Structures are given as structure tokens and as C-alpha cells.
């Protein structure tokens, strides 16, 4: 199952290395990681999309992360109301004649063209991963020359409607 986990970390040197090393040592299947600074100085946030077999493996994932000295807080936000976005840039092969056609495809996705050359066009899209996947699939038949994705970043919405509790580590309470 796919889960979105965030970790708030104390931004000291080595923390990224420690976290990613841990995930590979413990054989977690990571789909994406994104990292960046937060509103608080010295604190960064990592967002992981992981594919885990079961609850137990998921629990281990959070616990092992939590155990790191510089990790301040770990949350599984998959089942919460969240805003999640990633950015992708896609260089698609196009003849000048196809440009209009492509424009029509990307428009509903609110993607934008950020670079054009004789035989290609680069499109930028922001959104949740499903939306990004969907657009990429539509562009694929034209020939993808280059594709780069930032990985998902996410946080919970200001207001949680039907608050599905973030499953706490049962042992901590």
C-alpha cells in the first residue's frame, strides 16, 4: 500500500544522509522523497511516498524514522485531508504542426508550456501525483524526450472535516 509520510527534522548536517541510509538499510521501498525548509528556521520537512506491504512494515517505517535523533516528528497523513502537490517537467517530441494539439491536451490540466524548440516542447505541471501521471500518459504517445519530477510534498489542510485520526503508534498511548 502507498502511504504519504512526513518527517519534520532538525536541520543539522548529515540528517538527510542518515534518513535515506536508514531507509535503504531497512529495505523500504521509496517512491519519492522531497525535502525543503519550513517556516521555522533550522527545521526542514521531508515528504516520503512509500510502498509498504502491511501495517507492521508501516509502523516500523515511522518508528525507525522517529528514532533518529534529528527527527522531530513523523506523521502518516495519508488518511487525513491533505493538500499534496508535485511538479513535473516533461519534454515532449513535437513537430510544429502538433503544438496546437498538445496545447489542447495539457490545458485541462492547467499545465503550461515553458520551453519550445524546433522538435520539442517542455510542459510544466503541478498537482497531485495522479493528475501528473494522467497527463504524462496522454503525452507519452508523442514521445517523451525527458521527464523530471520533484516528488510529492504535502501537508494537512487547515480544517479537517471528518477527522480520520492519524493512526497513532498504539504503544505510545
Give the binding site for other proteins (CB under 8 A): 9-10, 13-14, 17-18, 21-22, 25, 56, 59-60, 63-64, 66-73, 169-173
Residue 72 CA from chain centroid, whole number: 20
Alpha-carbon gap, residue 119 to 99, rounded angstroms: 10
Neighbour-count burial of 136, counting CB atoms closer than 10 A to its CB (0-12 exposed, 13-18 middle, 19+ buried):
middle
C-beta of residue 164 within 8 angstroms of C-beta of residue 82: no
Q: Which of 4, 18, 35 is nearest to 69 (CA)?
A: 18
Nearer to other proteins, 130 or 165 (CB): 165
Nearest distance, CB of residue 80 and other proteins, angstroms: 22
Nearest distance, CB of residue 154 and other proteins, angstroms: 20
Nearest distance, CB of residue 67 and other proteins, angstroms: 5
Nearer to other proteins, 19 or 135 (CB): 19
Nearest distance, CB of residue 162 and other proteins, angstroms: 27
* Strand segments (E) across 64-117: 71-76, 82-93, 112-116
Nearer to other proteins, 58 or 135 (CB): 58
Nearer to other proteins, 15 or 88 (CB): 15
Amino acid at each position: 500500500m502507498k502511504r504519504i509520510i512526513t518527517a519534520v527534522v532538525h536541520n543539522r548536517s548529515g540528517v538527510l544522509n542518515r534518513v535515506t541510509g536508514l531507509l535503504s538499510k531497512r529495505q523500504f521501498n521509496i517512491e519519492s522523497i522531497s525535502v525543503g525548509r519550513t517556516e521555522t528556521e533550522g527545521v526542514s520537512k521531508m515528504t516520503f511516498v512509500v510502498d509498504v506491504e502491511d501495517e507492521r512494515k508501516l509502523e516500523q517505517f515511522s518508528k525507525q524514522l522517529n528514532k533518529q535523533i534529528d527527527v522531530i516528528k513523523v506523521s502518516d497523513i495519508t488518511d487525513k485531508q491533505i493538500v499534496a502537490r508535485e511538479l513535473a517537467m516533461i519534454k515532449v517530441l513535437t513537430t510544429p504542426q502538433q503544438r496546437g494539439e498538445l496545447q489542447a491536451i495539457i490545458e485541462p490540466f492547467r499545465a503550461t508550456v515553458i520551453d519550445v524548440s524546433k522538435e520539442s516542447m517542455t510542459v510544466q505541471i503541478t498537482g497531485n501525483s495522479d493528475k501528473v501521471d494522467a497527463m504524462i500518459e496522454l503525452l507519452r504517445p508523442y514521445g517523451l524526450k525527458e521527464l523530471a519530477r520533484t516528488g510529492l510534498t504535502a501537508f494537512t489542510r487547515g480544517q479537517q472535516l471528518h477527522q480520520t485520526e492519524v493512526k497513532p503508534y498504539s504503544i505510545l498511548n
